[in-house]
Amino acid sequence: MRIAAVVPHLALLGLAACGGSDPAPPALNPYLGTLTITSAAATNTCVITHMVHFMAGTVDTHTVPAAGGDCLIFVNDDTAAHKPATIGTPSCPELNGPSLAQGASYPVPGVLSGPKTCHWQDALNPPAAGGGGGGGGGY
């Protein structure tokens, strides 16, 4: 019986959250991503290697779930140059890579260690001024 009493209240909360004059969120930069490392590194050798491919207009992976001891490589499969760079807090300087020409890759140095969540973007294609980002994607 308690569940039945809670459901109408949850429905009202949902309606209140969806209504009103809240502005629509800006379009996300299609070159944004999140790396979540769930544990400290147990080894200095890569257990699993995750790859993020820059492609024309997007990346193939916006969310990378990793464990400590995993590795990460950024690969440029686009004709334009791309440059991975950390954004936000915590800063994850290991994600700051060089400018990658077509076909180049950037293996993030060492193994990943956490726990932490890092956000990154393509520094050569940052979100447009005013919050727009070039049409879709997200993380």
Which pLDDT band holds residue 131 (cuts at 50, 70, 90)?
Answer: very low
Quick: pLDDT tens for 26-56: 345 788 899 999 999 988 899 899 999 999 9
What CATH number corresponds to the domain at position 88? 2.60.40
Rounded Cα distance between 43 and 88, Å, is: 27
Q: Is residue 136 part of a domain?
A: no
| Number of domains making up the chain | 1
Quick: pLDDT tens for 77-91: 999 999 999 988 777
Rounded Cα distance between 88 and 76, Å, is: 23
Please state the pTM of the whole predicted model: 0.71
* Residue-level pLDDT at 138: 38
Phi, psi of 103 (to 5 degrees): 85, -10
Range of the domain at 37: 33-122
- Indicate if the pLDDT at residue 17 is higher than 60: no
Q: Is residue 117 part of a domain?
A: yes
H-run or E-run covering 113: none
82: which DSSP letter?
A: B
